[in-house]
Amino acid sequence: MIILESINKSEAEKINRITGKIIGAAIEVHRVLGPGLLESAYEECICHELGLRGVAFERQVPLPMEYKGIRLDCGYRLDLLVESHIIVELKTVNRIDPIHEAQLLTYLRLKHERLGLIINFYVPVLKNGIKRIINDS
């Protein structure tokens, strides 16, 4: 269970409930498809599963950045933004490396959000491919 110190208990429970639905959707996709497909296939399927679960999400959300007071569109996109607050980055890589964690943490900072998930579908057991990242800043 994730409890973020700066939020109240009911908000933490809501976040845990949503992340549980995200992870459940990802597990179902991985159970049906297994590893070895392109990230885009998993994205399409997890979006379908989230829809079946009644979870609100946006796909490929543009993420502009600000540099010295100027807003720049550098082409960054969030794979998924779930319930307007949880960033989900989908991967199909051998392992989640520190660079993937840094990428998500940067996205969380740029978007001013607290919680994100990296879900790597290129693993035999999906629970070994899920990483939660918390933005403490």
Per-residue pLDDT, 6: 57
User: Is residue 64 predicted with pLDDT exceeding 70?
Assistant: yes
pLDDT single digits (tens) 15-51: 899 999 999 999 999 999 999 999 999 999 999 999 9
Measured CA to CA, the distance from residue 16 to residue 13 in angstroms comes to: 5
- pTM score of the predicted model: 0.89
Domains of the chain and any CATH numbers: 9-134 (3.40.1350)
Per-residue pLDDT, 91: 97
Query: Over the range 75-105, which residues count as b (16 or more CB within 10 Å of their CB) and which as e?
Result: ebebbbbbbebbbbbbbbeeebeeebeebbb
Do 22 and 86 touch, CB atoms closer than 8 A?
yes
pLDDT single digits (tens) 81-124: 999 999 999 999 999 999 999 999 999 999 999 999 999 999 99
Structure tokens at 20: 């549980």
Three-class SS of 25-57:
HHHHHHHHHCCCCCHHHHHHHHHHHHHHCCCCE
Per-residue pLDDT, 97: 96
Category of 5 on φ-ψ map: left (φ > 0), alpha (ψ -120 to 50) or beta: alpha
Per-residue pLDDT, 136: 87
Three-class SS of 7-22:
CCHHHHHHHHHHHHHH
Do 19 and 50 touch, CB atoms closer than 8 A?
no
Per-residue pLDDT, 10: 81
Do 81 and 93 touch, CB atoms closer than 8 A?
no
pLDDT band at 3 (very low <50, low <70, confident <90, very high): very low
For residue 91, give the 3-state DSSP assignment.
strand
